[in-house]
Amino acid sequence: MRSAVSDHRALALRPDLERAWARTDALFELLSPEALAARPIGLRQPFIFYLGHLPAFAWNQVCRGLLGRASFDPAFDDIFARGIDPMEGDGLQSATAEAWPPASRVLAYRDRIRDLLRAASLELEERAETDGDVLVQQGRILDVVLEHELMHHETLLYMVQQLPPALKVRPPNLPAPEGGGAPPPRTVAVPAGRVRVGEDFDALPFGWDNEFGRADARVDAFAMDATPVRNREFLEFVEAGGYDRREHWRDEDWAWRERHRMAHPHMWRRSTQGWTQQTLFDAVPLDDAGDWPVYVSWAEAHAYASWRGARLPSEAEWLWAAYGSPRGGLRSHPWGEDPPTAHRGNFGLRHWSPTPVGRFRQGASAWGVLDLVGNGWEWTATPFGPLPGFTPYIRTYPGYSTDFFDGRHYVLRGASWATDERLVRRGFRNWFQPHYPYVFAKFRTVR
């Protein structure tokens, strides 16, 4: 592959990297010192791992992987190389807290790598004129590092949310959670159409390998929820005994629900005062958060849809509802060709929590569907897999997608409040296994 885009981007990406690193540092400042050893999600490594993983990944991709530099700390390069795929029941174990290096050494390792990356960006810019390497062109290898860092910001935030209050530091300028009304639930008619899943490699300065390829699909007309399923709607399912209604759950999902005694969304809590939803630092009464999108696992979303006599949309249906145009083809964004901005949706860490559904009317799709991008990733019924023509072109990271083409992960689309604007693009595909309840993931149903 060789991109037709000719402008050089390696140096232009430097400020973006610096901003990402600054946010990384700010997110770690949300932790008390003793929290670095904490492992609030058993299917994830402790925070100290991520402190080292982000620079180790950058080194292994750019300096060692692409430029062939000799390692200055092979042990750190190895122990921080890769995290855990959060698959329940795999028996994966993390090293004990005492086995990790002290934070001071990890921070020194991080700072040295950041300096080496600053120098590497100059070398990549000089080589871009003559080097035919697809990872050198357009500074793509720096995009790999940058977007990996941004994706882990979201991972860190949903880990922070699971921490006990004593282990985290509330920032003084944290926005207050937003309540208020929302438009009433309704459905929107989405007409039939043809949709392409997948992007052209030459059309984008950067995309991950699973974004490229081409799967053309005919989408029949369907009705879709105009807004994501909200907490107050899901509460009806809970109070109707939905978690005990075996007929609405797949066998493996029912076994998971039984094993963990699931009776409500993981982010909800019940007390004598009633239901609350956990956010990063607050327990918000569900009376105030009733119009927020409900955050649940795929298994819970699937069961709710069955209870309503509906289903989850396929990836192709979701794309057509989000990006389809009455003139045919796909828009760049649900709202059209304009770039992502604050009034289009709840993304980019502007609110630091969900907002009531339907608030961002200017983010509506051509069919009038709201909140497709922002306020939470959206589950689809489509297992994560390669598109026709898939090529794992990032040779320094060949397993980024292929390790998860196992039929055990499902595609999510859109973005959450914690998703950086850089990832708000039509081709970006997220994925998780169906029993992972920690992601900022919402859903809507179709008929």
Q: What is the CATH number of the domain that holds 368?
A: 3.90.1580.10
With 90 as the cut, is the pLDDT of residue 73 above it? yes
φ/ψ (deg, to 5) at 330: -125, 140
- 48-52, 79-83, 259-263: lowest mean pLDDT where? 79-83
- Classify residue 7: in a domain, yes or no: no
Alpha carbons 429 and 339: distance in angstroms, whole number: 18
Contact in structure between 71 and 38 (CB atoms under 8 Å): no
Alpha helices in 86-217 (DSSP H): 103-127, 140-161
Residue 87 pLDDT: 55
Q: What is the pLDDT of residue 96?
A: 59
pLDDT of 86 > 90? The answer is no
Q: Which helix (H) or strand (E) holds 383?
A: strand 376-383
Q: What is the pLDDT of residues 312-327, one digit of tens each?
A: 999 999 999 999 999 9
d(CA 175, CA 398): 39
DSSP 439: S
Asked if residues 410 and 298 have their Cβ atoms less than 8 Å apart, the reply is yes
Number of C-alpha atoms within 13 angstroms, CB side, residue 168?
A: 25
Please check whether residues 120 and 246 belong to one and the same domain.
no
Helix or strand holding residue 271 (H, E): strand 268-271
Residue 108 clears pLDDT 60, i.e. is over it: yes
Q: Answer whether 379's CB lies under 8 Å from 312's CB.
A: yes
**pLDDT of amino acid 91:** 39
Give domain status of residue 378, yes or no.
yes
Give the pairing type, strands 376-383 and 441-442: parallel
| Residue keyed to tokens 């060789």 | 2
Mean pLDDT for the stretch of residues 88-101: 59
User: What is the spatial distance between Cα 146 and Cα 363, in angstroms, rounded to a whole number?
Assistant: 26
Are the C-beta atoms of 281 and 311 separated by less than 8 Å?
no
Dihedral (Cα; 251, 253, 254, 256), 10-degree rounding: 120
User: Is residue 162 situated within a structural domain?
Assistant: yes
pLDDT at residue 92, rounded to an integer? 42
Q: Residue 242's pLDDT is what?
A: 98
Residue 152 lies inside a defined structural domain of this protein:
yes
Asked which of 167, 200, 221 is the last residue of a domain, the reply is: 167
- For the chain, the residue count is 447
Q: Are both 117 and 203 inside the same structural domain?
A: no
pLDDT on residue 94? 52
CA distances from 230 to 185, 244, 249, 289, 358 (A): 9, 20, 20, 9, 10
Q: Are residues 201 and 343 in the same domain?
A: yes
Q: How far apart are CA 232 and CA 180, in angstroms?
A: 13
Same-domain status, 246 and 204: no
Quote the pLDDT of residue 130: 85
Whether the pLDDT of residue 416 is over 60: the answer is yes
**Separation CA 339–CA 200 (nearest Å):** 19
Question: Considering the domain boundaries, does residue 296 fall inside one?
Answer: no
Whether 161 contacts 352, CB under 8 Å = no
Domain co-membership, 120 together with 208: no
Kindly tell me if the per-residue pLDDT of 30 is higher than 70: yes
Per-residue tokens: 104: 């001071």
Cβ–Cβ under 8 Å, residues 257 and 238: no
Which of 429, 322, 446, 331 lies closest to 385 in space, CA to CA?
429
Percent of the chain with pLDDT over 70: 95
Cα–Cα dist 276/285, whole Å: 4
Is residue 415, in this structure, part of any structural domain at all?
A: yes
Calculate mean pLDDT across residues 368-397. Answer: 98
Query: What secondary structure letter does DSSP report for 384?
Result: P
Query: ∠219-222-227 over CA atoms, to 5°?
Result: 115
Domain C-terminal end among 138, 167, 196 = 167
The predicted pLDDT at position 440 comes to 98
Instruction: Output the domain CATH number for residue 93.
Output: 1.20.120.450
Q: How far apart are CA 127 and CA 121, in angstroms?
A: 10
The token pair at 301 is 């979303």
Please, what is the Cα angle at 155 between 312 and 175, to 5 degrees? Answer: 95
Res 97 pLDDT > 90? no
Q: Is 58 domain-assigned?
A: yes
pLDDT at 3 over 50: no
* Mean pLDDT of all residues in 33-53: 95
Domain count, the chain: 3
Residue 271 confidence (pLDDT): 84
Stretch 234-257: mean pLDDT, rounded?
98
Q: What is the mean pLDDT of residues 246-256?
A: 98
Three-state SS sequence of 130-145: CCCCCCCHHHHHHHHH
Mean model confidence pLDDT for the chain: 94
Please indicate, yes or no, whether residues 217 and 94 belong to a single structural domain of this protein. Answer: no
Give the pTM: 0.95
Domain co-membership, 149 together with 57: yes
Question: Are 358 and 261 members of one domain?
Answer: no
Of 22, 94, 91, 21, the residue nearest 57 (C-alpha): 21
Distance CA(268)–CA(422), nearest Å, equals 30
In a domain, 6, yes or no: no
Select the more confidently predicted residue: 271 or 14: 14
For residues 94 and 225, membership in a common domain is answered with no
Euclidean distance between CA atoms 401 and 391, whole angstroms: 10
**Residue 267 shares a structural domain with residue 365:** no
Say yes or no: 321 and 412 in one domain.
Answer: yes
Q: 190: which strand partners?
A: 222
Specify whether 220 is located in the same domain as 267.
Answer: no
pLDDT for 231 beyond 60: yes
Q: Domain range for residue 26?
A: 14-167
Amino acid at site 182: A
